[in-house]
Structure 1
Amino acid sequence: MLNDYISWIKNIALPVWEGRGFDARAGRFRERLDRNGAPLAVPHRSMVQARQIFVFAHAAECGWSQAGQELAERAMQSLIRDFASREDDTTSFVFSIDPTSGSIISSTRDAYAHAFVLFSIAALYRLNRDAQLLALADGIIRFVERKLHDPVYGGLFDALPAPDEKRQNPHMHLLEAYLFLERAAPGRGYLERAAAIVSLFGERFFIGERLLEYFTGDWGAANRAVWEPGHHFEWAWLLDEYAALSGHDSSALCESLYASAKAGGVADDGLIVDEISARDDVVVKGSHRVWPHTEAIKAAATLYTLGDATAPAFADRMAAGLMSTFLDRPFHGGWIDHVSAAREALVDYVPASSLYHIVLAGSVAAKAFASDAALTKAE
């Protein structure tokens, strides 16, 4: 099924989202489509624009999209035009705008969104080598470090204005952005910033062999003490990416994260559950989303490179679950993003944000498994 999954991405999903998923008038990607594949008039978020820029820049680099670079470059121009704000030598991005007028709906500065803007810059810079993109990244990083970094307790505020709680998730994606920036333009301090986040992972996030999601502002335990199997898989892949760039041996952590997610996070029907209690490992949210299954494929690719001969078969099962439950519905090239434990749809729209997970997992699988017979053997 991995071959079918990768083929579906290249031949069906990407062409659909190049067309009906892009607003040619505004030069922006659609936020979401309805069940018939028509655009929905909902606020456009900077995070989704950045994710889609990554998708099509990365797809162009992989040779999966002829239109990818042009779309990514147009969307980057509109992202800067419609969402960016410059103050002194920093650049920040508002959270959302009206899709028709372009007026600001939410001026919140979201850490998660800024991580993805940096991520999109890395992917587009790999294609066009436009030095202005690195200058933009520098301004964003200055904003993140001056305004979103907690000078007292460390780590990132979730947003500005700062909420009471902190989350590990924005840190994870900022790590991802720094790793991709380091690959695109090494030697500019990105790897050192990535190292600081990896240290925070060990100090704050990974407690008792579980990756906690929520914390108080001073990094105490939040009332909502849960872990997500999907993020265990995602961190396993990211820590291995960090190891490849830094030389730091993360194999034991990768194996631990992968093993715990497989052992506790896969339901009897083979799908990955959303949330598990960190206190007793009881499933507290038994629903299923697209993205944990894509992250499981990436983590399996990591474990395969570390010598786990069973990893291709697990990746193939995850691809099979995606194809049988989520993908190519409710229309050709779409997906049901979230289903209940009984596999009933929990959303009546198709969010563009999921395509980032789907495409990146496909490219990781193609690289890790297709170089030998592993992909075919898994089927």
Structure 2
Amino acid sequence: MDSLTFQTARCQHWLTQHALPRWLKTQSNQTGTFVEGLLADGQELSHNLIRFRVQPRQLYVFAHATELKLIDGRNLVNTAIEHGFPHFGSVVSGYRFAITKHGDVHSESINLYEQAFALLGFAWHYRLTKSKDSLISMESIYEFLLTHLWDTKYGGFFLTEGNTTNKGQNPHMHLFEALMVSYEHTDNPIWLERATQIYQLFRSQFLQIGHLAEFFQTDFSLDPEIGSHVDPGHHYEWIWLLSHYEKLTGVNVAGTIKTLFKFAQQYGHNTNGLVRDEIYENGTPLRSTSRLWCQTEYLKACIALWERDPTDSHRAAICQAVELIFTHYLNPAIHGLWVDQVNETGQPLNRHSPASSFYHLFLAFSELLRLTDED
């Protein structure tokens, strides 16, 4: 068994024997919502706050796993749409950031990020069920974005309804992902046209000379306080997204991918090989800690690069990326859970597994399964 075959089997075993069985039990029978996370001993995290983003992310995991015949999660997916989502709002009113035991202004905010994942959730529900209601909901979400968050002067979407001073790369990136998924699941070209608008925004605003910027003011000038802060993980995430966009459209993104990869490789890793959480635009470290999601995005980028150029070095990079994920994030946790963040020496910094990270893990591992199925 070669290294790639071993690592792929390892990922599939972890998903089917440990993670999926454990997290299938984390949807509330009373509310239809998924838990915010699990503690290191496997008990439910008792938390004041449950974020909306956890709901469509977990829905995605169980819908995609069902499609791949790893589990049967149809009941959970339907329950999330019918009972879980409505606790946070609707496609007409928008989905608020979180529900809390003690309400606060932040939890009530209607953000671009949450709506992007709502679209992803309904797109996957449609994929699984072919529900016309989900098609209608998808369109309603996009219309909500245009009505409440679109900047008619400078273009792009504001981060939060009612706040016309800030814009960000990250929620646009996830909207780009959701729009491409919507196109793939419906075959309706309008979704790809909408994705192309985000791609054009990426090219004209987010992509700077040599790197990807994150934080902007209304006119897309860099935020004066945090505009120099850069996420290497998002560089890798965009590599995978752009490669996927190229498959759908035929647009040549090779030069852009090379730029993103060069910057992230040069400045974005600690000496232990893990992707850093955050650096400055000049490459100096800002935070030397390493979140799990940054490593899964690196794995996805390695897979995309191997598909573009199937060399031995790219194949080896995939195997090494998987090895680092297991060594630092999965093996130290009980079966089916994960460490979410480590310091620069590899020591865990948290005592619970955020549910939101399962989306990153499953998507990366499912890409590996797809790669070896096609190989």
TM-score bracket for the superposition, by shorter chain length: over 0.9
Q: Does the aligned pair in 2 maintain the 1:2–1:315 contact within 8 Å?
A: no
1:142 matched to which residue of 2? 143
Q: Separation in 1 of the partners of 2:332 and 2:156?
A: 39
Number of the residue aligned with 1:33: 38
Deviation at 1:102, TM superposition (A): 11
> Unaligned regions of 5+ residues in structure 1, if any?
373-379
2:107 counterpart residue number: 106
CA distance 1:257–1:2, shift in 2 (3 Å): farther
Q: Which amino acid aligns with 2:50?
A: H
Alpha-carbon distance change, 104 to 277 in structure 1, aligned in 2, over 3 angstroms: closer
Is the contact made by 1:96 and 1:104 (CA closer than 8 Å) also made in structure 2? no
The answer on 1:239 being equivalent to 2:239 is: no
Instruction: Choose from 285, 292, 295 the match for 1:293.
Output: 295
CA-CA distance at 1:106 after TM superposition = 2.4
Give the distance between the partners of 1:318 and 1:257, measured in 2 at CA.
18
SS at match of 2:86: helix
Which is further off, 333-342 or 349-358? 333-342
Note if 1:64 corresponds to 2:64.
no
Q: Distance in 2 between matches of 1:24 and 1:172?
A: 33
What are the Cα deviations for residues 323-361 of structure 1, in whole angstroms up to 9, with x where unaligned?
011114432211110111122222222100000000000
The amino acid across from 2:41 in the alignment is N
Q: Tell me the residue number matched to 1:312.
A: 315
**1:259, CA displacement in angstroms?**
3.1
Shifted more, 249-258 versus 113-122: the winner is 249-258
Question: In the superposition, relative to structure 1, how do residues 199 and 300 fare at CA in structure 2: closer, same or farther (>3 Å)?
Answer: same
Provide the C-alpha distance between the structure 2 equivalents of 1:154 and 1:59, rounded to a whole number of angstroms: 36
Distance 1:236 1:289, change over 3 A: same
1:114 deviates by 0.5
Mark the CA change 1:27 to 1:102 in structure 2 (over 3 Å): closer, same or farther: farther
Secondary structure of the corresponding residue to residue 33 of structure 1 = strand
**1:84 lines up with 2:85 in the alignment:** no
Cα-to-partner distance string for 1:289-319 (whole Å, 9 max, x where unaligned): 1011111111111111111412221111111
Instruction: State how far apart, in whole Å, the 2-side matches of 1:105 and 1:148 are.
Output: 17
Over the matched positions of the two proteins, sequence identity in percent amounts to 32
Letter in 2 for 1:179: M
Q: CA deviation at 1:150?
A: 1.4
Does the residue aligned with 1:276 lie in a helix, a strand or coil?
strand
Shift in CA distance, 346/161, structure 1 to aligned 2, threshold 3 Å: farther
Instruction: Map 1:182-331 onto structure 2 (within 5 A).
Output: 182-222=183-223, 223-224=225-226, 225-278=228-281, 280-309=282-311, 310-331=313-334
Q: Which moved more, 1:133-142 or 1:246-255?
A: 246-255
Q: Distance in 2 between matches of 1:308 and 1:264?
A: 24
> CA shift at 1:91, angstroms?
4.3
List gaps (5 residues or longer) in structure 2: 1-6
Question: Is 1:51 equivalent to 2:57 in the alignment?
Answer: yes
Greater alpha carbon shift after TM alignment, 143-152 vs 342-351: 342-351
Which has more strand, going by share of residues?
1
Amino acid across the alignment from 2:59 = I
- Aligned partners of 1:328 and 1:69: how far apart in 2? 29
Contact 2:60 2:359 in 1 (8 A): yes
Superposed displacement of residue 171, structure 1: 0.2
Q: Is the 8 A contact 2:59 2:77 kept in 1?
A: yes
**In 2, distance between residues paired with 1:328 and 1:146?**
46
- Shift in Å at residue 205 of structure 1? 0.5
Distance 1:102 1:215, change over 3 A: closer
After superposition, the CA RMSD in angstroms is 2.0
The 8 Å contact of residues 268 and 283 in structure 2, kept in 1 or not, is answered as no
CA 62–258 in structure 1, closer or farther in 2 if over 3 Å, else same: farther
What is the deviation of 1:262? 2.2
